[in-house]
């Protein structure tokens, strides 16, 4: 049996009227699971705050695997996550609190938040990592394209799930794994919509990466610029 599990919590993206087949990230992840063959997927939907908490604490973290990775995929506004209408879903601090609490009693190593603009909450990224055993968190700072960002997320899981447990003590190894995962993309590719009358935002300006090595004295730090410099997407 595999010792690794990918926990997926997904909010609904479209109403049946908008897209009758209701596209989901799950089919993409199942493709990666079939290709890799060395991890299991546990999947749940959520509609609001209590649903998110129940999915995470009562369902997904009750697994037999001892290495867990969390993927939160839902609409985001920078202040809320989930929900199909404005001012619905759960507030960002409540989401991070639920993630932090779950990580305190389960072995969640890394978190990808596939939601628009959540990466702007850098203080929440840092405090969530600092107050848990999470080694890394990744998110986006703007209104991302669904298909393109899903492919980025897949590449992140493909590479970061290959890290060995002892590698989590080494900040540079985690940083370099992010570099490998992102290197297959073009940093100048427009990933996010610009404001009215403004140009779109490229991938290199759309990321937040926080890393905290699992070792005594390991500190949570924003490593976004470090990763971008190693990719050659920005100048040192």
pLDDT digits (tens, 9 = 90+) for 133-147: 999 999 999 999 999
State the pTM of this model: 0.94
pLDDT tens column, 92-122: 999 999 999 998 888 899 999 999 999 999 9
Structure-token pair, residue 4? 């690794």
Per the domain annotation, does 166 fall within a domain? Answer: yes
User: Is residue 156 one of the residues assigned to a domain?
Assistant: yes
Domain assignment present for 216: yes
Sign of CA dihedral 46, 140, 109, 160: positive
Residue 142 belongs to a domain: yes
Instruction: State which residues form the domain around 152.
Output: 4-231
CATH of the domain at 118: 3.40.50
The domain tally of the chain equals 1
Please say whether the beta carbons of 223 and 145 come within 8 A.
Answer: no
Across 184-208, average pLDDT: 91
pLDDT at 229 over 90: yes
Asked if the structure places residue 102 within a domain, the reply is: yes
In a domain, 236, yes or no: no
Of 228, 184, 181, 231, residue with least CA distance to 206: 228
Tens of pLDDT, residue by residue over 212-224, are 999 999 999 999 9
DSSP the chain: --SEEEEEEEE--S-TTT-TT---THHHHHHHHHHH-S-EEEEEEESSHHHHHIIIIIIIT--S-SEEEEEEE--B-SSEES-SSTT-SEEHHHHHHHHHHHHHHS-EEEEEEESTTGGG-HHHHHHHHHTSS--EEEEESS-B-HHHHHHHHHHHHHHHTT--GGGGG-HHHHHHHHHHHHHTS-TTSEEEPPSTTSPPEEGGGSEEEEE--SSTT---EE-HHHHHHHHTSS--
Share of the chain above pLDDT 70, in %: 98
Considering the domain boundaries, does residue 66 fall inside one? Answer: yes
- Asked if residue 191 belongs to a domain, the reply is yes
């Amino acid at each position: 049996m595999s010792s690794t599990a990918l926990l997926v919590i997904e909010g609904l993206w479209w109403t049946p009227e908008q897209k009758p087949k209701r596209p989901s990230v799950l089919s993409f992840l199942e493709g990666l699971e079939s290709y890799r063959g060395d991890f299991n997927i546990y999947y749940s939907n959520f509609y609001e705050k209590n649903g998110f908490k129940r999915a995470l604490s009562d369902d997904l973290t009750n697994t037999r695997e001892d290495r867990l990775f969390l993927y939160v995929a839902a609409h985001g506004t920078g202040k809320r996550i989930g929900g199909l209408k404005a001012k619905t879903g759960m507030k960002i601090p409540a989401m991070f609190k639920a993630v932090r609490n779950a990580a305190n009693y389960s072995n969640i190593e890394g978190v990808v938040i596939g939601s628009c603009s959540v990466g702007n909450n850098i203080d929440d990224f840092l405090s969530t990592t600092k107050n848990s055993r999470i080694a890394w968190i990744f998110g986006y700072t703007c209104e991302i394209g669904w298909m393109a960002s899903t492919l980025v997320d897949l590449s992140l899981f493909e590479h970061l799930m290959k890290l060995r447990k002892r590698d989590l003590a080494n900040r540079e190894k985690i940083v370099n794994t992010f570099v490998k995962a992102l290197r297959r993309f073009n940093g100048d590719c427009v990933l996010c919509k610009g404001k009215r009358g403004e140009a779109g935002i490229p991938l290199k300006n759309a990321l937040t990466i926080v890393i905290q090595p699992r070792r005594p004295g390991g500190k949570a730090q924003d490593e976004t610029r470090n990763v971008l410099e190693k990719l050659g997407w920005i100048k040192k």
